[in-house]
């Protein structure tokens, strides 16, 4: 009661919303700059179970923006270092780890037991795989990405047949796009967009989902823009 008292005081969340958050299981794909910020707010806000999925190890170049890690964690698996940090933040959560690059069969095994999937990975191919598997399972998911001084968030609802999918927005873009090490990323942008992804996730879990569409963040000019997306009749993933 004391830990979540600020949520309990909100008419938008209250006791019922906080209990829904507490009863939920979330899969988080990618524990980099975005994933660290997202995971921190999910755990501190009382998400009952969180499965952290990442194959990578902590590098010195991660430390500026991946706030769950410390210098002593360099070389450790990200999911193990993140789990230790998150357990210290809130020991009441159940934390699972998957230390591998997620393939279709891994998603098909994990996602059915989750209430929500969040993709904070750093590559387009993984997001397309998440899109395919969430469509097949009609599982709601949140996509968050950032690069340079820009960020994007989408709340995708395959459980609502009239809603577009991730492929509807991106069409036949290549499976590999720019990444943060090559293009650069301003550290606070990862924190801002990751926290925003947690906001979308917690609102949805509490029974107050935010509007669908694509939400763009321009950090250089401090502007958010929301775009309404339509379902593409010829989409090869959801048509």
21 vs 17: CA distance, rounded Å: 6
Summarize pLDDT for 211-238 with one digit per residue, the tens: 778 999 999 999 999 999 999 998 999 9
Q: How many helices (H) and strands (E) does the chain have?
A: 9, 8
Q: State residue 180's pLDDT score.
A: 59
For residue 179, pLDDT over 60 is answered with no
> Domains of the chain (ranges plus CATH)?
12-227 (3.40.50.720)
Summarize pLDDT for 43-72 with one digit per residue, the tens: 999 999 999 999 999 999 999 999 999 999
Summarize pLDDT for 186-201 with one digit per residue, the tens: 999 999 999 999 999 9
76 vs 66: CA distance, rounded Å: 13
**Contact of 119 with 30, CB cutoff 8 Å:** yes
Structure tokens at 5: 């008292």
> Measuring CA to CA, which residue among 136, 125, 103, 139 is closest to residue 26?
139
Directed axis angle between helix 33-44 and helix 78-89, to 10°? 30
What average pLDDT score do residues 136-143 get? Answer: 97
In this prediction the pTM is 0.95
Structure tokens at 213: 């569409």
Burial of 113 (C-beta count, 10 Å sphere; 0-12/13-18/19+) = exposed
171: confidence class by pLDDT, cuts 50, 70, 90: confident
């Amino acid at each position: 009661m004391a830990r979540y008292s600020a949520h309990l005081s909100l008419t938008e969340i209250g006791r019922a919303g906080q209990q829904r958050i507490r009863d939920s299981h979330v899969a988080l794909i990618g524990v980099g700059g975005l994933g660290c910020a997202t995971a921190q707010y999910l755990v501190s806000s009382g998400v009952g179970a969180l499965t952290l999925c990442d194959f990578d190890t902590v590098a010195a170049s991660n430390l500026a923006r991946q706030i769950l890690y410390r210098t002593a964690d360099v070389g450790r698996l990200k999911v193990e270092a993140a789990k230790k940090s998150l357990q210290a933040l809130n020991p009441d959560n159940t934390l699972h780890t998957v230390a591998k690059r997620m393939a279709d069969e891994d998603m098909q095994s994990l996602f059915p037991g989750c209430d929500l999937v969040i993709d904070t990975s750093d590559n387009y191919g993984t997001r397309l795989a998440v899109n395919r598997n969430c469509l097949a399972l009609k599982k709601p998911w949140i996509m968050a990405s950032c690069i340079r001084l820009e960020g994007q968030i989408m709340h995708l609802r395959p459980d609502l047949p009239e809603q577009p999918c991730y492929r509807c927005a991106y069409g036949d873009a290549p499976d590999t796009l720019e990444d943060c090490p090559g293009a650069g990323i301003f550290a606070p942008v990862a924190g801002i967009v990751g926290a925003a992804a947690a906001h979308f996730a917690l609102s949805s879990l509490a029974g107050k989902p935010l509007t669908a569409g694509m939400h763009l963040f321009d950090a250089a000019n401090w502007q958010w823009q929301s775009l309404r997306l339509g379902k593409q009749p010829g989409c090869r993933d959801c048509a």
